[in-house]
Structure 1
Amino acid sequence: MRPVIFELFGLPIHGYGLMIVLGYLLTVYMATRIVRKWGLADVFYDLSMVMLLSGILGGRTMFYILNYSAEFQHRSPFAFFKIWEGGLVLYGGVTGGCLGGLIYLSWKKLSVLDYMDVSGIVAPIGLAFGRLGCFMNGCCYGRVCSESYAIGVHFPEGSPPWSHQFNMGLLQRGEIMEAVHPAQLYQAGHDFMLFFLLLYYVGRGYAPRGAGMPLLWFLYAIGRFFIEG
Structure 2
Amino acid sequence: MYDYEIRERALVLLRQGVTNRVVAEQLNVPRGTVGWWRHEDRKRRGEKFERPHDCPRCAEHPFDHGAYAYLLGLYLGDGHIISKPKQHHLSVFCDEARPGLIEAAESAMRKVMTLPSVRRRHRSGCVEVKSFSQHWKCLFPQHGPGKKHDRLIALEPWQQAIVDAHPWEFLRGLIHSDGCRITNWTTRMIGGERKRYEYPRYFFTNTSTDIIRLFTNTLDQVGVEWKPARQSRKAENISVARRASVALMDQHIGPKY
State the TM-score bracket (shorter-chain normalisation). under 0.3
Please identify which structure carries the higher strand content.
2
Relative to total residues, which structure has the larger helix share, 1 or 2? Answer: 1
TM-score by length of structure 1 reads 0.25
Larger RCO: 1 or 2 (CA < 8 Å, sep 6+): 1
What TM-score, normalized to structure 2?
Answer: 0.23
